[in-house]
Amino acid sequence: MQILESKPGLELSPYLEDPKLQQVYDQTIDKISYNQQTVDQAAKEMYTNLQNVLSQITK
């Protein structure tokens, strides 16, 4: 059974490739799922958190 269909230009999320990035992604999804944050709030927080993690990774 194929769960994900490959479409031109569509790739798996890069957040799933690095454990730190995956953690940020998972935390964001959880906050939205449990109504702890709106999508807009979670997106802003995720952006900030991703920038922090990416700056650590690229050092």
Q: What is the pLDDT of residues 43-55, one digit of tens each?
A: 999 999 999 998 9
Specify the pLDDT at position 13: 60
Provide mean pLDDT across the span 32-41: 95
Instruction: Write down the H helix ranges in 1-59.
Output: 19-33, 39-57
Provide mean pLDDT across the span 24-51: 94
- Rounded to the nearest 5 degrees, what angle is found at the Cα of 18, between the Cα atoms of 44 and 38? 20
Residue 57 pLDDT exceeds 90: no
Structure tokens at 14: 């890069």
